[in-house]
């Protein structure tokens, strides 16, 4: 059986639902911030599975936790409790200052869970179930999460679920006009990921929190991409001095395994009762063991502080290039968007040719979300390759 890249891509094109425009390589192994394809070529990973591998690829402690747990207990029904689930819920609640945790398989499921909690809460108060979301938001690709996102992603999937209302990001006045008795919740990303690495204004977030509290509307933060140490705090909310009613997590939580979580304050959690929500695989012992090991690594290796230091270093190095195609660099910690005076996709293609994995989003944004364990030497390599790729694109 052939295992070369072309043969594997032929299989993928014949049998997999064609939803992804894949790059021509096939990745085979990874360690830390490095990945290798089936042809033996090495790449520096500045994408980290889209902000998933925060502790790097195949961290020994995460791998060992998976091995040990796989030999004991991988899956049980949620009719029964496992120790890893209980320990992870306790850990997340104490880290976040939230009261309750529900574990799912992905970020979209976490957001869907938050929507259900918010609507149940509102209906118990005799209010409508409307959800207010922000322009340029991305909360997932299920039908309900599509309804709280860009219209471009909704095309062809009509009828889109109703009850979702868009307002401009960072616009308090527009939001306040929207809030009425038909609104159950406001959802936003403290740092928009797919929308272009847009950071919420501190005053805006604090005003949203105050408005929601005064009107008994639930405030939902989607930290699927910006949570779990990515921005230089364990949770991005902590940059802004706010506490939501519901907090959605995923990506960086599991160290590479699929896990999501919606965290709730008690008043929101009280709206949900037995049978209102569930997940067959959510919170299974295997992923919970990995997530616990992942959180251990973040604390033991001080990756929150590392994200701050290395993010500042990377941002300065990019600005120091003084490249005419770079307009600005925005973001927090190691969640950075390089705003370009050109389309980002060709730059990403050129960086791939030069041995670096990166990503284009929102048209002209080069998204850089490397593992938090990236070394300063690797950051220098990333910056040098970015510089060369920009020069090659400019001179093409």
Contact yes or no for 382/314 (Cβ under 8 A): yes
Q: 284 with 74: CB under 8 angstroms?
A: yes
Q: Are the C-beta atoms of 393 and 342 separated by less than 8 Å?
A: yes
Torsion angle defined by CA atoms of residues 51, 56, 58 and 64, in that order, rounded to the nearest 10 degrees: -110
Q: What is the largest CA-CA distance in the chain?
A: 64
Whole-number Å distance between alpha carbons of 153 and 157: 8
Report the SS3 class of residue 339.
strand
Tokens linked to 201: 């204004």
Catalytic pick from 166, 251, 310, 315? 251
CA-to-CA distance for 249 and 154, rounded, in angstroms? Answer: 23
Instruction: Tell me how many degrees the CA angle 244-261-239 measures, rounded to the nearest 5.
Output: 40
Report residue 282: phi and psi, to 5°: -60, 125
Q: And the tokens for 312?
A: 């500042």
Distance, in Å, from the CA atom of 72 to the CA atom of 78, rounded to the nearest integer, reads 17
Within 10 angstroms of residue 189's Cβ, the number of other Cβ atoms is 27
- What is the C-alpha to C-alpha distance for residues 319 and 313, in angstroms, rounded to an integer? 10
Both structure tokens of 223: 């930290």
Catalytic residue among 102, 115, 138, 219: 138
With a CB cutoff of 8 Å and minimum separation 6, the contacts of 154 are: 146, 147, 160
Return the exposure string of 29-41: e unless at least 16 CB atoms fall within 10 Å of the residue's CB, then b: ebebbbbebbeee
Residue 138 appears among annotated catalytic residues: yes
Three-state SS string over 286-331 comes to HHHHHHHHHHHHHHHCCHHHHHHHHHHHHHHHHHHCCCCCEEEEEE
Catalytic residue among 222, 237, 245, 310: 222
- As a whole number of angstroms, the distance between CA 252 and CA 376 comes to 21
Active site residues: 138, 222, 251
């Amino acid at each position: 059986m052939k295992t070369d890249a072309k043969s594997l891509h032929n299989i993928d094109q014949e049998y997999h639902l064609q939803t992804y425009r894949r790059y021509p390589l096939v990745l085979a192994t990874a360690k830390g911030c490095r990945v290798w394809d089936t042809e033996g070529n090495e790449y520096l990973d500045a994408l980290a599975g889209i902000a998933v591998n925060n502790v790097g690829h195949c961290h020994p402690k995460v791998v060992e936790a998976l091995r040990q747990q796989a030999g004991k207990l991988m899956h049980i029904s949620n009719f029964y409790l496992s120790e890893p689930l209980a320990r992870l819920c306790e850990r997340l609640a104490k880290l976040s200052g939230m009261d309750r945790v529900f574990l799912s398989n992905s970020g979209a499921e976490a957001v869907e869970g938050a929507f259900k909690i918010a609507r149940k809460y509102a209906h118990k108060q005799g209010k409508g179930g409307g959800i207010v979301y922000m322009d340029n938001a991305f909360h997932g690709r299920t039908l309900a999460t599509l309804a709280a996102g860009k219209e471009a992603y909704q095309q062809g999937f009509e009828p889109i679920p109703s009850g979702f209302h868009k307002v401009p990001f960072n616009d308090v006045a527009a939001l306040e006009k929207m809030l009425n008795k038909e609104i159950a919740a406001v959802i936003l990303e403290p740092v928009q990921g797919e929308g272009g690495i847009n950071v919420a204004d501190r005053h805006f977030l604090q005003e949203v929190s105050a408005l929601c509290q005064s009107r008994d509307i639930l405030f939902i933060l989607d930290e699927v991409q910006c949570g779990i140490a990515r921005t230089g705090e364990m949770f991005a909310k902590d940059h802004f001095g706010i506490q939501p009613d519901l907090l959605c997590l995923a990506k960086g939580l599991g160290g590479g395994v699929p896990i999501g979580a919606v965290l709730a304050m008690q008043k929101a959690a009280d709206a949900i009762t037995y049978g209102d929500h569930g997940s067959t695989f959510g919170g299974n012992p295997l992923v919970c063991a990995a997530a616990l090991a992942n959180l251990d690594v973040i604390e033991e290796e001080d990756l929150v502080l590392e994200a701050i230091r290395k993010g500042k270093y990377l941002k300065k190095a990019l600005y120091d290039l003084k490249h005419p195609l770079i307009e600005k660099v925005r973001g927090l910690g190691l969640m950075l968007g390089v705003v370009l005076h050109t389309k980002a996709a060709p730059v990403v293609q050129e960086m791939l040719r030069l041995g670096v994995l990166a990503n284009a989003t929102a048209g002209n944004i080069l998204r850089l979300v490397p593992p938090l364990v990236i070394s300063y030497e690797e950051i220098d390599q990333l910056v040098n390759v970015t510089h060369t790729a920009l020069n090659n694109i400019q001179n093409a």
